Amino acid sequence: MTTELVQIFKTLGDDTRFKLVNLLLTHDLCVGALAKHLGVSEAAVSQHLKQLREAGLVRGEKRGYWTHYMVEKEKLKEVAGLVGDLTRLQPCLESVCIKKMNNKIDCHKEEGKMCDCKCQQPEKLKGKPEECTLEQIKECHGDQEHPCCENKEPEKE
């Protein structure tokens, strides 16, 4: 569905097609009426409608001599649901490492640099790993050992 969703966003990303969908949400209209409302040629409207049909966002219905177009509201609701699902994604509980995801670079301690594993919350780390407090490390990495400084000693008060 990801590829389809991207295609739908690309299709709706055009100003004229977006306006067509808005018009068709309130009225079933033919190409001529749509062209008149938008101030563009009928040929242009037909091309835009073709792309909207291919994306599954509109459909045409023959009514006498004319074809009237309408929005596939269920498709729009499906897209809205998928976008809503994106907002509910939870952070991964496992330690996420950009370098490991890259699969090209080993994610381990590198001499004296800021945490190179791209911590989940780098703003919690104030400098090089050896300069971070245990509280900062715990806040950034949870109960896991800091991947960039394996032997950090507890600070003395």
For the segment 107-118, what is each residue's pLDDT rounded down to a tens digit? 444 433 445 454
pLDDT confidence of residue 9: 94
Residue 14: DSSP 8-state: S
pTM of the model: 0.58
CA atoms within 13 A on the CB side of 9: 10
Q: 2-87 has which CATH code?
A: 1.10.10.10
Residues facing residue 32 across a β-bridge = none
Cα–Cα distances (Å) from 52 to 16, 61, 71, 136, in that order, read: 11, 14, 9, 51
Those residues of the chain that have pLDDT short of 50 are 99-100, 103-114, 116, 118, 151-152, 157
Domain ranges of the chain: 2-87, 98-141
C-beta of residue 99 within 8 angstroms of C-beta of residue 53: no
For the segment 10-44, what is each residue's pLDDT rounded down to a tens digit? 999 999 999 999 999 999 999 999 999 999 999 99
